[in-house]
Amino acid sequence: MKITDTDVIVTCPGRNYVLVKIETDNGLIGWGDATLNGREKAVESALKFHILPELEGKDARRIEDIWQMFFRNTYWRGGPVLNSALAGVDIALWDLKGKQANLPVYELLGGRTRDHAKFYRHCGAETVAKIVENCKEAINEGVEYLRVNLRSDPIQYIDLDNIAEGVKSTREKIGPEPNLLVDFHGRADPVEAAKLAKQLEPAELYFLEDPVRPENPDVFELIRTHSTTPLAMGELFTNPWEMLPLLERNLVDFIRTDLSHIGGITAADKLAAIGDHHYVKTAFHGPPDLSPVGFAATVHLDISIPNFGVQEHPEYFSEPEDSTFKSMFQLPSPSKIDEVFSGGAFISDVEGAVNVSDRPGLGIEVNESTARQYDFKRSHLPKPRNPDGSVQDW
């Protein structure tokens, strides 16, 4: 099954996505997701000029060999741009392999270990009252996992001064059953993170995500020493080896890496296996800047690994009423998404869960002509500042 043609498409059905297309001599087409939010054109250039030309004539079945070639032969071991590009190629190759075998990708990964994958809903807001309202709506829909970030305004993402009291109040109002999650987005310093993790213990969080910035794993020891709150990390890692110190030292409880940034299915599957050996579960990143192709790949992995925890759901929602929020973010349009993508992951008949079909490959197809009609639109992540004007992490 030789690769005969490749292409990269940057489409914007409300939000920019970088799609990799690989064709083979037996007429099959595989699709991958190489989206890197705010740096889509950099990934497109890497694919167009440095990676895709190397694929012509290669055997598409040799997924591991191709992964190793692009990861190790870059010499510098990639980074967010090159590893996102590699992820797009890798996901497309798994899609092709499934189509050739006439099997869904999860069967190639060892088969199902579960019937569906539970997901969590974003219920954060500027007030506890609104968070509780969002939670109750989600609970009524059968969602059991709820992220309850209290924020002072959309760009601040998390209100660290009031988060402990806000989560405590939310827990009191919605009861003990739902699993609550909080994401600091790396905003706290180590001492502050340790203090807040301790204060959040009475709320019995399912996990606290990204309590500190990702550069120094040693600081997780401080948090771990002072709190029993479960910790999640990995969203900002783009090299699978970055996660190893946290796993080997038992400093985290959940892997939050993104398949479309970490190197695709091949890298994420290995990372999940290492996590399993350390009793760490997965909670793969799944925001709306992950395309439906990437999300389908993620769910195939979710239902095939033994140590799945919970899945973030991109929920390609309609634009919110908040004008500040709308001005800050590109948000996918559900109607345009449906025009470009068909199949893939879907809300399960089981409440609060997602699933994939038994269609060959990833089970998703791309309407290429429509995708090309939605041209790239320049965007960037928010650039928050501290009250004194200094740069703050987004």
Q: Where are the domains of the chain?
A: 3-102, 108-360
- Residues 205-229: tens digit of each pLDDT: 999 999 999 999 899 999 999 999 9
Q: How far apart are the first and last CA of the chain?
A: 43
Name the strand (E) or helix (H) holding 253. none
How far apart, in whole angstroms, are the C-alpha atoms of residue 10 and residue 8? 7
- Give DSSP secondary structure letters for 2-49: BEEEEEEEEE-SSS-EEEEEEEETTS-EEEEE---TT-HHHHHHHIII
Q: Where are the beta strands (DSSP E) in the chain?
A: 3-11, 17-24, 29-33, 117-122, 145-147, 179-183, 207-209, 231-233, 254-255, 281-282, 311-312, 341-343, 346-347, 353-355, 364-366
- Residues 328-379: tens digit of each pLDDT: 567 778 889 999 999 999 999 999 999 999 999 999 999 999 999 999 999 8
> How many CB atoms are located within 10 Å of the residue 306 CB?
12
- HSE (side-chain half, CA atoms, 13 Å) at 237: 27
More confident residue, 11 or 323: 11
What amino acid is encoded at 394 in this protein? W
pLDDT of residue 326: 54
pLDDT of residue 321: 47
pLDDT of residue 328: 56
Q: Assign domain 108-360 one CATH number from 1.10.10.10, 3.20.20.120, 3.40.50.720, 3.40.50.10190.
A: 3.20.20.120
Q: What is the mean pLDDT of the chain?
A: 94
Task: Just give the CATH number of 3-102.
Answer: 3.30.390.10
**Model confidence band, residue 325 (pLDDT cutoffs 50, 70, 90):** low
**Model confidence band, residue 316 (pLDDT cutoffs 50, 70, 90):** low
How much of the chain exceeds pLDDT 90, in percent? 84
pLDDT of residue 318: 44
Say whether pLDDT at 151 is over 70: yes
How far apart, in whole angstroms, are the C-alpha atoms of residue 338 and residue 330? 17
Nearest to 63 by CA among 106, 108, 27: 108
Q: Would you say 244 and 272 are in contact if contact means Cβ atoms under 8 Å apart?
A: no
pLDDT of residue 323: 47
